[in-house]
Amino acid sequence: MKLSQKKIFRKQTIELFDSKIHIITKYLGNNNEFDISYESILPNKYDIKTNNLVLFGFSIFFYLLAGAVYYWRFIEGDQSVEEEASVIWFIVGTILLIIALKSTENIWKIGVINNQFIKVYKRSPNEIAVNEFITTMFKERNRYLIENYGSINSNLDYEKQYNNFVWLKNMEVINESEFVQKIKDLDFEFGRHSNKIGF
pLDDT tens across 172-185, in order? 999 999 999 999 99
**94 part of a folded domain:** yes
Nearest CA-CA partner of 89 in 108, 107, 71, 64: 64
Of the listed ranges 7-11, 19-23, 53-57, 76-80, the least confidently predicted one is 76-80
Q: What is the DSSP letter of 29?
A: T
Determine how many CB atoms are found less than 10 A away from the CB of residue 76: 9
- pLDDT on residue 153: 87
No. of H helices and E strands in the chain?
Answer: 5, 7
**123 part of a folded domain:** no
Residue scoring higher pLDDT (82 or 81): 82
**191 part of a folded domain:** no
Helix, strand and coil percent figures for the chain, each rounded to 5: 45, 25, 25
What's the whole-number mean pLDDT along residues 13-26?
95
What pLDDT band is residue 51 in, cutting at 50, 70 and 90? confident
- pLDDT on residue 98: 92
What's the whole-number mean pLDDT along residues 82-106?
89
What's the whole-number mean pLDDT along residues 13-32?
93
Global pTM value = 0.76
Pinpoint the alpha helices (H) of 119-170: 127-149, 158-170
Burial grade of 106 (CB within 10 A; 0-12, 13-18, 19 or more):
middle
Domains in the chain: how many in total? 1
Burial grade of 86 (CB within 10 A; 0-12, 13-18, 19 or more):
buried
Q: What is the DSSP letter of 197?
A: -
Query: Is the model's pLDDT at 194 over the cut of 80?
Result: no
pLDDT, tens digit (0-9, with 9 covering 90-100), for 106-154: 899 999 998 899 999 998 889 999 999 999 999 999 999 999 999 988 8
**31 part of a folded domain:** no
**44 part of a folded domain:** no
Nearest CA-CA partner of 51 in 97, 91, 119: 97
Tell me how many degrees the CA angle 31-36-42 measures, rounded to the nearest 5: 130
Q: What is the DSSP letter of 162?
A: H
- pLDDT on residue 134: 95
**178 part of a folded domain:** no
**167 part of a folded domain:** no
Sequence-separated (6 or more) residues with CB below 8 Å from residue 180: none
**170 part of a folded domain:** no
Q: How far apart are CA 74 and CA 56, in angstroms?
A: 27
Query: Is the model's pLDDT at 167 over the cut of 80?
Result: yes
Beta strands in the chain (DSSP E): 2-7, 10-16, 20-27, 30-37, 41-50, 105-112, 116-121
Domain that holds residue 65: 53-102
